[in-house]
Chains A and B, each alone.
Chain A
Amino acid sequence: MSAKTLYDKIWDAHLAHEAEDGTSLLYIDRHLVHEVTSPQAFEGLRMAGRKVRNPEKTIAVPDHNVPTTLDRANAATMTEDSRIQVEALDKNARDFGIHYYPVSDVRQGIVHIVGPEQGWTLPGMTVVCGDSHTATHGAFGSLAHGIGTSEVEHVLATQTLIQQKSKNMKVEITGKLRPGVTAKDITLSVIGETGTAGGTGYVIEYCGEAIRDLSMEGRMTVCNMAIEGGARAGLIAPDEKTFDYVKGRPHAPKGADWDKALAWWKTLHSDADAHWDKVITLRAEDIAPVVTWGTSPEDVLPITADVPAPGDFEGGKVDAVKRSLEYMGLTPGTPLSAVEIDTVFIGSCTNGRIEDLRAAAAILKGRKIKQGLRAMIVPGSGLVRAQAEEEGLADIFKDAGFEWRLAGCSMCLAMNPDQLSPGERCAATSNRNFEGRQGRGGRTHLMSPAMAAAAAITGKLTDVREMM
């Protein structure tokens, strides 16, 4: 047998059929579903008189539309069309008999946080969802990627996906991170290095000492943004940390199944002499706390840098930078640390886990946010919220002046009422700074939870290291 990457191994274990031209039918172990990208898929099934082939492998949770204010049980907090979408998911989950966490369930939250939390996501699995940040689940050494609604319907009906194999890319982060530098800074720095199309056609495996040193939460943050680098998926080989995280979760294997699973999971790593189509290496020591300044996740700079000028770039990027600086209301040469913000958003499937909230709380403890600032923390799930309350983090947030919300996607994409107004500038822990992403005309700077907390205190983009 020739040497294989982790991706090759998972691929081979799920290949149900391969045509001569390489078109493959990949078996899907877990299918996660949310309310925005699924209604048309269920409608398609109904119209064709088809069933969900494996409802026991299908898990649904509403997250994108749901209000995160404390009064959300009141139907009036949702717009008519949002309510219709959530109700459609309620009905579809019921009609087709799939696992479901309704808004009223404490386990409800962002689909990519709920999956791992409930033990649905396990090493070596194939995981798909009609959502590009499905890459998050790659942190467990599972092949996880986003799909379109037609593919959602395909997986519902057949439990398989028609795929072409991607190429293998290795992203190695050597050495140790410096203080104040987090998983978010790693993943943003990688995109800054490769560009948003640098991973197109690849599945990335992240490795190296700095990746190994990350917690599972941190690894999820790294894999979450693999898609922002254009990759189909991002993976991290499972290790003891992974197994410890998984063990005992509601849907993790137990007893003899656990032993059998563990034995297989331990084989899930790239062979030493495996072939890589592309390799990127970054030194952890060179990574600084970063922020984005433009309207593409590749527009990344250390917080100590200045706003760049269009002339610093080449090709199509010159016009893109011109456009994005105008949109962002920034002048070249301005120190990033002088940019004043109006709003802080801590949450999303990138940074809405307990560790993220702990990192924010460590900075906010005993401090107050800048007067007049709007600041909200939206935990990634009801269980994250409960744990943060138990650990006393919620009190720190409230004392500092943050709104303490219920779980959902919230201002990550602003499909619910949490939105930026035109020109409003936000320090956000989410994953996309596209034009209008957080509300029409809204200006987004992406960063880590600790950096967002620091910005909340000063009212400007801030180097968190000055507050540690």
Chain B
Amino acid sequence: MDKFEKLTGIAAPMPMINIDTDMIIPKLFLKTIKRSGLGVNLFDEMRYDDDGNERPDFVLNKPQYRDAEILVAGDNFGCGSSREHAPWAIGDFGIRCIIAPSFADIFYNNCFKNGILPIALPQETVDLLMKDAGKGANARMDIDLEAQTITTSDGEVIRFEVDAFKKHCLLEGLDDIGLTLEKAATVDAFEAKASAERPWV
């Protein structure tokens, strides 16, 4: 997995609530058996018209946001389907960090498995960052995972919280499966005990 340490990039504002994973990547594009290549279809229905032409008013189609690496969005981001194609598409587009007042549970977890940092902050703070993002390409934000800070284009520093284990894995680019397999003996012992207690499982 890609490491995530620091990021300085353009933030795109998407002030909508309940952005669901069907919007992020419509099911049409779930028929792939690969993880890569989904970026062109990120937000497909909002981004392109019925003939496949870009809608000029969609934020990621605007010249100043085409290279956005950060997304600032409304409450409950990533709700709906568990499809990991959503963070795959986001990552493939080049976005590495999403800031919102809250995230849906499965989506939030999926981000960390794909080198993407989701940051949940109080509504007022997100409003402030949304405004900053509205300034366009000149307004770059700095994200520092180690220090757990966001620095706005005006130099204001905002602290965020992140689970210590998830932070560690993201900083080091660690593979969860490898880490768990190191605990194989513990799992074996648990399994032996559990299957004695619950032999029907």
Contacts and interface: CB of A to CB of B under 8 A. Distances in A.
Interface of A: 13-14, 16-17, 19, 21, 23, 25, 27, 29, 36-37, 39-40, 43, 48, 50, 57, 64-65, 79, 81-82, 84-85, 88, 122, 124-125, 130-132, 145-151, 153-154, 157-160, 162, 164, 196-197, 200-201, 230, 232, 252-253, 257-258, 260-261, 264, 296, 316-317, 319-320, 323, 413-415, 422, 432, 434-437, 440
B109 interface: yes
29 contacts: A16-B187, A23-B163, A25-B183, A27-B190, A27-B191, A29-B201, A36-B30, A39-B33, A40-B33, A40-B35, A43-B33, A43-B34, A50-B177, A124-B198, A125-B201, A132-B82, A147-B106, A151-B109, A153-B177, A160-B180, A160-B187, A164-B163, A196-B79, A319-B15, A413-B81, A415-B30, A432-B80, A440-B45, A440-B50
A434 B80 contact: yes
A146 B106 contact: yes
Contacts of B17: 316-317, 319-320
Given A153-B177, A323-B16, 11 more contacts: A16-B190, A17-B187, A21-B164, A23-B163, A40-B34, A82-B31, A84-B33, A150-B113, A150-B176, A200-B105, A252-B200
A110 to B, nearest CB: 14
A8 B61 CA distance: 47
Contacts of B84: 37, 40, 130, 148-150
B80 A25 contact: no
Contacts of A65: 31
Contacts of B200: 122, 252-253, 257-258, 260-261
Contacts of A323: 16
B53 interface: no
Contacts of B20: 432, 434
B9 interface: no
A294 to B, nearest CB: 10
Contacts of A81: 31-32
Contact of B22 (A147, A422, A432): A432
Contacts of A415: 27-28, 30-31
Query: Most A CB atoms within 10 A — which of B82, B103, B110, B190?
Result: B82
Given A48-B177, A435-B22, A316 B165 contact: no
Contacts of A157: 177, 180-181
A232 B84 CA distance: 16
Nearest to A158: B180
A122 B200 CA distance: 10
A316 B74 contact: yes
Contacts of A196: 18, 76, 79
| Best-buried of B16, B191, B200 by chain A (most CB within 10 Å) | B200
Choose among A88, A196, A264 the residue with the greatest number of B CB atoms under 10 Å from its CB: A196
B75 interface: yes
A414 B28 CA distance: 9
B155 interface: no
B76 A230 contact: yes
B83 interface: yes
A260 B33 CA distance: 42
Nearest to A146: B82
Contacts of A17: 183, 186-187, 190
A158 B191 contact: no
Contacts of B30: 36, 64, 415
Contacts of A146: 82, 106
A150 B110 contact: yes
Interface in B34-87: 34-35, 45, 50, 74-76, 79-84, 87
